[in-house]
Every structure is written in structure tokens, then in C-alpha cells.
Amino acid sequence: MDSYWFAVIAGSLAVYFWKILGYSLPKKFAENKEVVIFAGKLTVALLAALTAVQTFASGQTLTLDSRVAGVAVAAFLYWRKAPFIVAVCSAALVAALLRNLLGWP
Amino acid sequence: MSKRSRRSSVVSMSVGVGLAVGLYGTSFGALATAAGLSVWQAQVLSLLMFSGGSQFALIGVIGASGPAGMIPAIVSAWLLGIRNGFYALRLNSVLSVTGMVKIIAAQLTIDESNAVSASQESPKESKRGFWITGIAVFIFWNFFTLVGALLGSVISDPSVWGLDAAAAAAFLGLVWPRLKHFQSNLTALVAVIFTLVLVPLIPSGIPVIVGAPLAVGLIYLLKRTGLGKYLQGDNHG
């Protein structure tokens, strides 16, 4: 657990780097549309990739387990415009029920 | 709208956003401790990193890969933080800050403070929206991180409580509002495919930081070729 301090501090500095960089560059960079679109796309791609890995990956194997059902319920709730916290708790509840009551993986 | 009512509307909007976003700090705190971080580490992330997407990315990769995943975890958080840099570029002209105030403004530069600021009409309200939202989110996000971390730290097996599914649902909730245009959706889909194909082939944690940029690169190349016009549905690609 102590070794995680490295990730906590280095990660925080790495994220702050972008924030302070934006305040340090000449203002003309803000007008480059292509760069702005690139940043938006990269954000979408990373979050989608993280969703996929968190849903289907167990280490280096792909699996179908109770997480998938939980995420499917969350997707339905987001589609119905439910708040973030409601969807996240519902996903946990569904996965927990499937595991504890039905013995799903 | 009178000056006074405009001012109170930006204040209530900012505090409302702060409270709503802050509340899901609870899920961050709980998932962070479930991923193996201490309560303090979760708290320091909310204080120092202070960017929801990056924080979830860091703990998501560490939770899945353990200490071996620290470098990919840092890189994932770093790449997700790029967008804050673009908000900063915009806000730099709006806020006109210097010195110590600039250093604090940079830390408060996140999705929500930028969005509230950008939605205001007058430059004065735009500034006010940034500061109040940034400070409100910072306070609530940190408070609820502590609540969540304390709750999460008493849970010994996260999967029994479905916290692994909650982590996946949290990422889905972060990407959902961004899936508005065909090109974004296509980028997301390609990123998912690339990443899942890479999962069995390379150590865990790395597929995300390779798959997502590859997907963005591919969509960019497609846009540059004839296919791009077809994808965009217009003639000036």
C-alpha cells in the first residue's frame, strides 16, 4: 500500500502539469480548433476504453461475469437520465445480488 | 435579468453543481480504498490531483493490476488530464490571473468550473462562475471522498459488494454525456474494440493507454482521406 504513494504523487503532478501549462502558453493556442477536437476525442476514447476494461477484463483474460449485468443496468439508467450516483449504486447492487443470491461469478 | 438576480443565479448554479459532483466523491473514495489505496491516499488524490476522470483512471488501473500497474495508471491519469489544459487555455483569457492566484486557479480548472464559466454571458459572471464552482466542487468532492474512503475501508472483499461493477459504471457515467456526435461515438467504439483485442496480448493497464490513442489516430486518418467526408456527412473535410 505504501508503494502507491508514488502513483498518488507522480500522478497528481502529471495532471497538474496540463493545468498550469494551459495558463502558461500564449493565448493563440486556444484558437487552434484541430487541437481542441483532438483533446475531446482522446478523452472519449480513454473513458470508453476504461469502461470496457473494467467491465470485461480480469487481468489478461476477457470474462463475462456479474459486472456486465451491473453495467447494463447502469447504461439503462444513464439513458433514462438517472443521476450518476444512482446508476453507480444500482450497478453495485445488481452485481452483488447476482453473486450472493445466484452464485454468479 | 437584473444584475442582482443574475449574480444569485450564477451562485446557485455553481453551488448546485458543486454539491451534485461532490456527492459522487463518495463513490471515488469507496472505490479507491477497495482498489487497495489507504484512506489518506484517496484523500490526497482528491486534494492534489483533483480531476474526477484522472482519479478514477488511476485507481481503476491500480485496482485491476496492483503495484505492477502503477506506471500505466499514472499515464492513464495524465492522458485524461489533457483536457484540463485546454480549459486552462480558455480560462487564461477570461480570468487574467497572475502569481499565486494563477497557481490556485490552475488547480481548480476542471470540467465543471470551465463549463459553468463558459455558460455565463458577461465576463464578470464568467469569472464568478469559475471561482465559485471550482471552490464548491473542491470542498464537497474532498468531503465526500473522505466519507466514501472510510466506508470503503471497512469492506474486505470489494467484489462481494459489487464494487467492481460500480467502478465500470462510474467510467460509463463519465463517458456517457460525451457520446453526442457520430464521430465521438465511433471513436469510443473503435477504442473499445482496440483495447479489448489488446487485453490478452499485453500486460494489464497498458491496453487502455495504447488502444485509446490508436483509435483517435485511426479516426483522424480516416477523416483525412476520402472516407472522412463520408463519415462526417459534409463536403468540406
In the DSSP assignment, the letter for residue B141 is H
pLDDT of residue B226: 64
Task: Give tens-digit pLDDT for B115-151.
Answer: 999 988 899 999 999 999 999 999 999 999 999 999 9
Write out the E strands in B44-161. none
For residue B68, CA distances in Å to A1, B58, B205 come to: 12, 13, 9
Average pLDDT, stretch B108-116?
Answer: 94
Q: What is the mean pLDDT of each run of 10 residues along chain A (105 residues)?
A: 95 98 86 82 95 96 97 97 92 97 94
pTM of the model: 0.89
B17 interface with A at CB cutoff 8 Å: no
The Cα B141–Cα B62 span in angstroms is 21
**Between A16, A90, A96, which is nearest B107 by CB?**
A16
Other beta carbons less than 10 A from residue B87's beta carbon: 24
The Cα B132–Cα B17 span in angstroms is 10
More confident residue, A27 or B154: B154
- Closest C-alpha to B38, from B140, B149, B133: B149
Residues with Cβ within 8 Å of residue A18, at least 6 apart in sequence: B78, B81, B82, B83, B84, B85, B88
Please count the residues of chain A.
105
pLDDT of residue B232: 57
What number is the ipTM of this complex? Answer: 0.94
- Closest C-alpha to B194, from A30, A53, A8: A53
Task: Give tens-digit pLDDT for B181-236.
Answer: 999 999 999 999 999 999 999 999 999 999 999 999 999 999 888 665 666 544 44
Looking at the complex, report in whole angstroms how far the Cα of residue A102 sits from the nearest Cα belonging to chain B. 12
| Mutant choice from A43, A66, A81, A93 vs B, greatest count of B C-beta within 10 A | A43
Q: Is the dihedral of CA B42, B43, B47, B50 positive or negative?
A: positive
- Closest C-alpha to B155, from B35, B53, B49, B42: B35
pLDDT of residue B236: 41
Residues with Cβ within 8 Å of residue B119, at least 6 apart in sequence: B129
B164 interface with A at CB cutoff 8 Å: yes
The percentage of residues in chain B with a pLDDT greater than 70, rounded to a whole number, is 94
A18 interface with B at CB cutoff 8 Å: yes
pLDDT of residue B192: 98
CA angle A55/A14/B46 to nearest 5° reads 65
More confident residue, B20 or B40: B40
Other beta carbons less than 10 A from residue B67's beta carbon: 13
- The radius of gyration of chain A's CA atoms, rounded to the nearest angstrom, is 19
The Cα A73–Cα A65 span in angstroms is 14
Q: How many helices (H) and strands (E) does chain A have?
A: 4, 2
Task: Tell me how far apart the terminal alpha carbons of chain A are, to the nearest angstrom.
Answer: 27
A27 interface with B at CB cutoff 8 Å: yes
The Cα B123–Cα B146 span in angstroms is 35
CA angle B132/A9/A14 to nearest 5° reads 70
User: Is A12 within 8 Å of B106 (Cβ atoms)?
Assistant: no
- Closest C-alpha to A88, from B173, B37, B159: B173
pLDDT of residue A38: 86
Confidence of residue B56 (pLDDT cuts 50, 70, 90): very high
Three-class DSSP category at B97: coil
Residues in chain B closer than 8 A to A82 (CB atoms) = none
The Cα A27–Cα B96 span in angstroms is 11
Per-residue pLDDT for B112 more than 50? Answer: yes
Task: Tell me the three cell numbers of residue B43.
Answer: 484523500
Residues in chain A closer than 8 A to B169 (CB atoms) = 70-71, 74, 87-88, 90-92
Confidence of residue B88 (pLDDT cuts 50, 70, 90): very high
